[in-house]
């Protein structure tokens, strides 16, 4: 195989959005970069594919808001370099009970980060949306301008193309079976299932739902990143209202706090259909997924019928798609040096699913900083340390109750 045995400055394992953004960032800085993918590029087996992802800066945790703001600029910068769009802007709208703690934390975060926002009561929501949203008496809305839809597969392709243009080497169907320190060279040796060997000064593991398996194999460390099977749904908009709920018509991305936690995007990828789905999933093995999108729909139907005024034609979605999350018990990312025999030469990054895609560009920048400079500028990484799982009793592989959605169940 061409390039087998070559020496690289950085080897990146996993070519989803995080790995592709890291390859772009490292190659942009003039480093010799190798990006390895176990399947074909742009595959649908993980979490970096599909028609749409939401971008929003409204987070209960202030550190995510800052990352999203930087990421939005990096999305636009990459678009200008490639010459086409993957990020389509529209406002974002959060709704929920006025006393919901998470929603109140979102408002506090907006205030602390000086994110322009507007809090609307039930009457104001009805006026702003001309009756499209029908909120209960005790609910409020939070309107922010930083929102939009990202095209996932197109975005991953964009960053891979930009990385290639800057000299990065990309190889798919390269399943990494071993990462170790070369006893002679002292570098990081990466070995694939077909026997190819690559040496790197540094290595980044961004293997998505396979991160836990790979890290445990190469280091013995058990990282609590749980793959979850989830379902994406599209609903048909009532005839005559299609433009009202479209991105071109100015309809926002949105999220509903409470139980269930609902999120959605305006109509864009499928004309006449709107994406409304429930957050969460159920545990799965990424190598043994059922691929069957299953949903207990009643709570979601009730939410849609109660909050949207006659939005959808029927009580069932017209498209359901299987997807996969990979999440930690506390819902925060993992971004840290692997340590042990690897010291600071291997960085592991995972647990992004459910809300990480939008931050791909800034995560790529952070990971490139870590492996090339030893530290990341402008971001507080203490929230993402591996060590937090040992310190926090909730950081236990068996305790994923907060991430498991009761409305999504396995087919078996």
- Asked if 297 and 349 sit in the same domain, the reply is no
**Domain presence at residue 369:** yes
Residue 177 has pLDDT above 80, yes or no: yes
Domain limits for position 170: 7-48+153-224+332-391
pTM score: 0.95
CA–CA gap between residue 212 and residue 383 (Å, rounded): 19
Residue 301's Cα: distance from chain center in Å?
A: 25
Higher pLDDT: 259 or 262? It is 262
Looking at residue 51, its pLDDT comes to 92
- Asked if 284 and 312 sit in the same domain, the reply is yes
- Asked if 170 and 317 sit in the same domain, the reply is no
**Domain presence at residue 143:** yes
Domain count, the chain: 2
**Domain presence at residue 255:** yes
Polymer length of the chain: 412
Looking at residue 2, its pLDDT comes to 54
- Asked if 256 and 350 sit in the same domain, the reply is no
- Asked if 323 and 255 sit in the same domain, the reply is yes
Q: What CATH number is associated with residue 252?
A: 3.30.9.10
Name the domain boundary from 327, 351, 375. 327
Residue with tokens 């093995």: 285
**Domain presence at residue 171:** yes
Looking at residue 397, its pLDDT comes to 45
- Asked if 189 and 295 sit in the same domain, the reply is no
- Asked if 137 and 175 sit in the same domain, the reply is no
Residue 43's Cα: distance from chain center in Å?
A: 16
The string of pLDDT tens digits covering residues 53-108 is 999 999 999 999 999 999 999 999 999 999 999 999 999 999 999 999 999 999 99
The string of pLDDT tens digits covering residues 332-387 is 999 999 999 999 999 999 999 889 999 999 999 999 999 999 999 999 999 999 99
- Asked if 127 and 238 sit in the same domain, the reply is yes
Q: What CATH number is associated with residue 342?
A: 3.50.50.60
- Asked if 364 and 255 sit in the same domain, the reply is no
Contact residues for 252 (Cβ-Cβ < 8 A; gap 6+): 90, 91, 92, 93, 143, 147, 266
Contact residues for 143 (Cβ-Cβ < 8 A; gap 6+): 91, 92, 93, 117, 118, 119, 120, 128, 252
**Domain presence at residue 303:** yes
**Domain presence at residue 386:** yes
CA–CA gap between residue 351 and residue 349 (Å, rounded): 7
- Asked if 257 and 220 sit in the same domain, the reply is no
The string of pLDDT tens digits covering residues 35-60 is 999 999 999 999 999 999 999 999 99
């Amino acid at each position: 195989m061409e390039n087998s045995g070559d020496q690289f400055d950085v080897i990146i394992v996993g070519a989803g959005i995080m790995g592709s953004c890291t390859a772009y960032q490292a190659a942009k800085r003039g480093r010799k970069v190798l990006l390895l993918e176990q399947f074909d590029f742009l595959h649908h087996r993980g979490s970096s594919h599909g028609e749409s992802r939401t971008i929003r800066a409204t987070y209960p945790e202030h550190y995510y808001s800052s990352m999203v703001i930087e990421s939005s600029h990096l999305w636009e910068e990459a678009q200008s370099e490639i010459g086409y769009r993957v990020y389509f802007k529209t406002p974002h709208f959060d709704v929920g009970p006025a006393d919901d703690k998470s929603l109140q934390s979102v408002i506090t975060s907006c205030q602390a980060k000086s994110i322009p926002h507007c809090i609307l009561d039930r009457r104001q929501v009805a006026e702003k949306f001309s009756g499209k949203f029908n909120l209960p008496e005790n609910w409020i809305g939070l309107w922010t301008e930083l929102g939009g839809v990202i095209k996932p597969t197109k975005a991953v392709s964009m960053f891979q193309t930009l990385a290639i243009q800057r000299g990065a080497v990309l190889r798919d169907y390269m399943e990494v079976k071993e990462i170790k320190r070369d006893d002679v060279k002292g570098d990081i040796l990466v070995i694939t299932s077909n026997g190819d060997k690559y040496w790197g000064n540094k290595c980044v593991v961004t293997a998505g739902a396979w991160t836990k398996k790979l890290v445990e194999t190469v280091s013995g460390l058990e990282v609590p990143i749980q793959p979850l099977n989830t379902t994406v749904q599209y609903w048909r908009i009532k005839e005559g209202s299609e433009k009202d709920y479209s991105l071109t018509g100015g309809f926002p991305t949105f999220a509903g706090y409470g139980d269930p936690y609902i999120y959605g995007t305006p109509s864009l990828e499928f004309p006449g259909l709107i994406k409304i789905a429930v957050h969460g999933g159920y545990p799965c093995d990424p190598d043994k997924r059922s691929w069957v999108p299953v949903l207990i729909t009643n709570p979601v139907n009730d939410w849609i019928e109660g909050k949207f005024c006659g939005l959808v034609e029927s009580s069932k979605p017209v498209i359901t798609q299987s997807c996969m999350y990979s999440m930690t018990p506390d819902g925060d990312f993992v971004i840290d040096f692997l340590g042990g025999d690897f010291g600071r030469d291997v960085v592991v990054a995972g647990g992004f699913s459910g809300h990480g895609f939008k931050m791909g560009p800034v995560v790529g920048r952070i990971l490139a900083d870590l492996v090339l400079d030893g530290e990341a500028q402008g971001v507080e990484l203490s929230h993402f340390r591996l060590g937090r799982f040992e310190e926090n009793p909730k950081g236990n592989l068996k305790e994923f109750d907060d991430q498991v959605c009761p409305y999504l169940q396995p087919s078996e």
